[in-house]
Amino acid sequence: MPPRLRLFYSGLTLGLLLIPAVALYSELARRSDIWWTPPAMASTLGDSRDRVEIYAGNKPLAAWLTAQQLWIRDEAGSRAVSADEIRLRFNNWDRTRVARLPLLLVYAATLGAGLVIFLVVATGRLAYRGERPVAA
């Protein structure tokens, strides 16, 4: 392959490699602490019963709340805690990470294949042999 074409295709391959490289970097550099449920959307104890069960001692928290045996003491005095006052926020990082995995694998495979193509073109392994006449 002539040096000018080799340089052109090497530059083209590097330019195309930037697309999956930037996408892969942006996915891997994303903060992992942003996947918590927003405070305004925190679930109540009753709504989150299918995902979490909280125990205090050897009894579920709901049993303590129903019996009004959990109390809060603050500047205003003491009062029993109701079930509506308990709010739960969930960390959805595990679900998000699993959902991102196929996309990350595609980016990584594309980047690897592009690097192989770049190395083959840049090192001149694609030898230009010219056209050969057809034997009759």
Clarify whether residues 19 and 41 are in a common domain: no
Residue 21 has pLDDT above 70, yes or no: yes
Clarify whether residues 74 and 103 are in a common domain: no
Clarify whether residues 131 and 105 are in a common domain: yes
Number of domains in the chain: 2
Overall pTM surpassing 0.75 (yes/no)? no
Start-to-end CA distance of the chain, whole Å, equals 27
Could you tell me if 127 and 1 are in contact, meaning their C-beta atoms sit under 8 angstroms apart? yes
- Which secondary-structure segment (H or E) carries 96? helix 93-122
Clarify whether residues 85 and 41 are in a common domain: yes
Could you tell me if 122 and 11 are in contact, meaning their C-beta atoms sit under 8 angstroms apart? no
pLDDT tens digits for 27-81? 888 877 777 888 888 888 888 878 888 888 888 888 888 888 888 888 888 888 8
pLDDT tens digits for 79-133? 888 888 888 888 877 777 788 889 889 989 999 998 998 888 888 777 666 777 7
Clarify whether residues 43 and 82 are in a common domain: yes
Clarify whether residues 12 and 52 are in a common domain: no
The whole domain housing 74 covers 37-90
Query: Which pLDDT score is estimated for 112?
Result: 92
Clarify whether residues 26 and 46 are in a common domain: no
